[in-house]
Amino acid sequence: MAADPPTDGLSPPTLYWAMLVIACGICLSVLDATVVSVALPMIARDLRTEAATSVWIINAYQIAIVVAILPLATLGDKVGYRRVYRVGMLVFVLASVACTLSETVAELAMSRAVQGLGAAGIMSVNAALVRLIYPRSRLGRGIALNAFVVAGASAAGPSLAAGILSVADWKWLFIVNIPLGLATLAGAMKYLPASAKSAGRFDLPSAVLNVLTFGLVFLGIDSLGHLDFSTSTFAMLAAGTAIGVVFVRRQMRLPLPLLPLDLLRIPVFALSMGTSICSFAAQMIAFISLPFFLQYTLGHSAAETGLLMTPWPLALMVAAPVSARLLERYPAGALGGVGLGIFAAGLLALALLSASPSGLDVAWRMALCGIGFGLFQSPNNHTILTTAPANRSGGASGMLGTARLTGQTIGATIVALTFALAPGRDWVAMAIGALLACGGAVLSSMRVPLGARMKPPR
């Protein structure tokens, strides 16, 4: 017999075990979007492919998550969040096995796409599960912890990759997923709570339209990033746009749409989504372009590159809990604006690095980026999740992930474009990242007069 959903969160120690499962799943799925970036030059050399082509190893993962995250979030409302989470983790583990066996860029990219589908199952429902795990009186802590793990995992990728690559080749980046994923799956089977299931059937036509819209548009954008101006590229963009119009019109007629456009009518929610897209695009630009600069231009090894990028996650780990405390006193929009302003300054400082910088020159710039991103991320995620109604947790969770991954995919495409148009000029991508961070700071600051200060729900 299936267990009943908790009425007001779980009790310790089950609460702690359930959150550990959520944190492990987030770390695995988010880390795989960043650890590979450090090894990308090594993978490109090993598989004998160009730098711009190797970016597909990242894009395949990102695009798969983008096209699947909203349908899976809605499916979670229908069949239960923990079921989607468990299946997603299983797919992620099996795809990690396929990644370790890949011998060509095409094989690795396809395996990464399947891995992205599994990660989408994990990401689509993790925030909704947090709302089930924590009592209402402590929900703010759970959301802040969730945001911290997402941000920390994103930034810790380079350091973790450095540790692995210092003793093993790039395939071990995927091998380590297997035992960790199986352990997380076992924990998910035992500790994750049941959820109430919404009435009605899963909207399969909307899911198909969603996949076609995001898939065709992002594939077309990626082709443009690789300077492919062929008829097929523009055909993909045109078809994706046309299908997207049909998709949006369908969603506007539904009471509980797969694409929750109604949430975007909340001004603070919409601005927070825009802020998230800009910030993660800038972050992905840095995470892809910096390893090529540090390895190809400065001659560092992959392990040394990860170590040079380590001040970023360390600074973020210090700044993130501070921002959670500051959120109790200051508006989230102001914190986000200041944080992204600092982040932009760090990216610009990296763009202006000399041709032969010292380790300290690189370290303080990395730390500045980490401080800025840490100040921004927790308040922004908290705002997105708490401005949505409680019964729309799945939709808000899916939109949060969609914003993050859309930004990361845009960032990866920008890097591919700059690699093709300005080879060897890594500062160009970093300067674009700084401009995007500035745009995010402006959007975040616009929330202040709208009363974006969020208090923990009672």
Alpha carbon 98 to chain centroid distance? 22
Quote helix, strand, coil % in the chain, to nearest 5.
Answer: 80, 0, 20
The DSSP letter of residue 193 is P
Q: Is the pLDDT of residue 43 over 70?
A: yes
Contact 282, 433 (CB under 8 A): yes
Q: Is the pLDDT of residue 453 over 70?
A: no
Q: Summarize the confidence of residues 308-320 as an average pLDDT.
A: 83
Q: Tell me which of 439 and 289 has the higher pLDDT.
A: 439
- pLDDT range class, residue 120, cuts 50, 70, 90: very high
Secondary structure string (H, E, C) spanning 15-32: HHHHHHHHHHHHHHHHHC
- pLDDT range class, residue 7, cuts 50, 70, 90: low
**What is the rounded CA–CA span in Å between residue 83 and residue 86?**
5
Q: Is the pLDDT of residue 435 over 90?
A: yes
**What is the rounded CA–CA span in Å between residue 161 and residue 43?**
13
Q: Tell me: the pLDDT tens digits for 337-377?
A: 999 999 999 999 988 888 788 889 999 999 999 999 988 88
End-to-end Cα, the chain, rounded Å: 32
CA atoms within 13 A on the CB side of 72: 30
What would the two tokens of residue 93 be? 């583990």
Domain 14-190+204-450: which topology? Answer: Growth Hormone; Chain: A; (1.20.1250)
**Exposed / middle / buried, residue 297 (Cβ in 10 Å: 0-12, 13-18, 19+):** middle
Reduced to 3 states, what is the DSSP secondary structure of residue 103?
Answer: coil
Q: Tell me: the pLDDT tens digits for 49-104?
A: 776 677 788 888 888 888 888 889 888 878 888 999 999 999 999 999 999 999 88
Reduced to 3 states, what is the DSSP secondary structure of residue 83?
Answer: helix
**Tell me, what amino acid is at 58?**
I
Q: Is the pLDDT of residue 144 over 50?
A: yes
**What is the rounded CA–CA span in Å between residue 280 and residue 436?**
9
CA atoms within 13 A on the CB side of 267: 11
What are the residue ranges spanned by the domains of the chain? 14-190+204-450
Q: Is the pLDDT of residue 407 over 70?
A: yes
Nearest of 147, 182, 177 to residue 36 by alpha carbon: 177
The DSSP letter of residue 448 is G
Q: Which residues contact 259 (CB under 8 A, 6 or more apart)?
A: 70, 206, 210, 247, 248, 251
- pLDDT range class, residue 457, cuts 50, 70, 90: very low
